[in-house]
Amino acid sequence: MDQLALASFANRIAGEVIAPDHAAYDDLRTIVNRKDARPSLIVQVRTHDDIAAAIRFSAEHQLRLAVRSGGHGLTGLATNDGGLVIDLSHFDSVEVLDASSQLVRIGAGATWGNAAKALAAHGLAISSGDTQSVGVGGLTLGGGIGWLVRKYGLTIDSLVAAEMVTADGRALRVSADEHPDLFWALRGGGGNFGVVTSFDFRAQAISSVTGGMIIYDVAELGSVLTKWATYMRTAPEELSSTFVAFPGFGPNMPPQIFVLVCYAGADEAAANDAIGPLLQLGAVVQQNIALKPYHMMLEEAPPAMGVRMVSESGYIKSLDEDVIGVITANHGRAGTPVIQIRSLGGALRRVDPAATAYAWRDYEAAFWSVALVPNDTPQEQIEQIRQNAWRALKPLTTGAYMNFLSDAGESSVRDAYPPDTYNRLARVKALYDPANVFNQNHNIQPVPALQPE
């Protein structure tokens, strides 16, 4: 790389340019699901001008462009080999803009754990994910399914505006009134449309929740899952819940089945009434349900253990006996992935599927299947593992939740959107990123709208 041009770029921006000889490079070059990446430059941006300059620099020097917020993207595309990474970790502030209307602004580079802690000081929370270290940027742009999803909807359902820099370097504010096409696309369309620096959310007035984990006798998988699915159809919307079938991992981690649960509200009696039936689904081996601040519902990410996640996803209209039969028949077999089933419905379902680019609104549950493979597994083998692990369940599901897909190939991206939604995203992409500058993501190819004759 032209060292003079690099020095001039580094001098012009307010943030830091981290090259391979920098002391911080080794910590910053990898992300959760990609440990072997070696980008040429990591740019820790501080301003919108920094971002515009980094986009220009990457184009002038033909460097692939990656955008990173929390680094938990399953595709591993928030870093790269030989390219430029825009790192948003300095955009990590959490501000209350207007306490009376619960309007808050959160930097894309903040983690949900830090955001939840900062908001707790104001008695506020936002429906987001279940893990502390996941980034605000990536999770929000994909939708956001978490502990308050049935009561308050997806993370994007609380979004009122965002600030971003587009491929041509413009700093834009987008909302229902400002660039509404882009505002629609950002809510589920991922990192395709520009670099988002902050999100304005209407937060929820929640301080405490009741929740935790209930572990059941693994021998009762089929009946516990059937009863869980039946109960969640009539459970109050305050209750969000995830069923997990863990197939075992190594000699010290045997197969397990458990339910994670969160009641969104401080009323302990109502919470106990709602959670009570979950304690009757089967023989309970252990449970730790307790009243806690909402931010304590968010857990640490599981330890890396030298493995990466190969994951798939799909939605289900009804968790019927066919689906439960497949899960029961495969549980504990070699190569079976971890199966997470997240209960949906409630507020998520009440939003018009065409209102945001996240369109899978009318489904009972979302599946997340995660196979854990050694970090150095070759790409062809990963593809094989992905297909094998998901083979039995795929025909029974529809679509995919983009944030739960580790593959970013064209057919996976197509799976993540109904055709009308995909086509609309492609038209918005053509308006704001016609040259597909932002292509390290679940990439939507730009397709200009047909011109009137």
Contact residues for ligand FAD, defined by CB under 6 A? 31-32, 67-74, 77-78, 88, 108, 129-131, 134-135, 137-139, 141-142, 144-146, 190-191, 195-196, 301, 403, 440-441
Nearer to ligand FAD (CB atom), residue 301 or residue 351: 301
Nearer to ligand FAD (CB atom), residue 44 or residue 282: 44
CB of 155 to ligand FAD, least distance (A): 7
Nearer to ligand FAD (CB atom), residue 282 or residue 366: 366
CB of 196 to ligand FAD, least distance (A): 4
Nearer to ligand FAD (CB atom), residue 330 or residue 440: 440
CB of 391 to ligand FAD, least distance (A): 23
**Token pair belonging to 425:** 């995203």
How far does the chain reach from its first CA to its final CA, in angstroms? 47
CB of 141 to ligand FAD, least distance (A): 6
Nearer to ligand FAD (CB atom), residue 74 or residue 203: 74
Is residue 58 within 8 A of residue 80, CB to CB? The reply is: no
CB-nearest residue to ligand FAD: 138
Nearer to ligand FAD (CB atom), residue 183 or residue 282: 183
CB of 4 to ligand FAD, least distance (A): 30
Taking alpha carbons only, the member of 302, 188, 212, 288 closest to residue 253 is 302
Nearer to ligand FAD (CB atom), residue 106 or residue 195: 195
CB of 277 to ligand FAD, least distance (A): 23
Nearer to ligand FAD (CB atom), residue 282 or residue 372: 372
Mapped to the 3 state alphabet, what secondary structure does the chain carry? CCHHHHHHHHHHCCCEEECCCCCCHHHHHCECCECCCCCCEEEECCCHHHHHHHHHHHHHCCCCEEEECCCCCCCCCCCCCCCEEEECCCCCCEEEEECCCCEEEEECCCEHHHHHHHHHCCCCECCCCCECCCEHHHHHHHCCCCCCHHHHCCHHHHEEEEEEECCCCCEEEEECCCCHHHHHHHCCCHHHCCEEEEEEEECECCCEEEEEEEEECHHHHHHHHHHHHHHHHHCCCCEEEEEEEECCCCCCCCCEEEEEEEECCCCHHHHHHHHHHHHHCCCEEEECCEEEEHHHHCECCCCCCCEEEEEEEEEECCCCHHHHHHHHHHCCCCCCCEEEEEECCCHHHHCCCCCCCCCCCCCCEEEEEEEEEECCCCHHHHHHHHHHHHCCCHHHCECCCHHHCCCCCHHHHHHCCCHHHHHHHHHHHHHHCCCCCCCCCCCCCCCCCCCCC
Nearer to ligand FAD (CB atom), residue 38 or residue 227: 38
CB of 55 to ligand FAD, least distance (A): 12
CB of 323 to ligand FAD, least distance (A): 21
CB of 407 to ligand FAD, least distance (A): 13
CB of 382 to ligand FAD, least distance (A): 16
Nearer to ligand FAD (CB atom), residue 191 or residue 337: 191
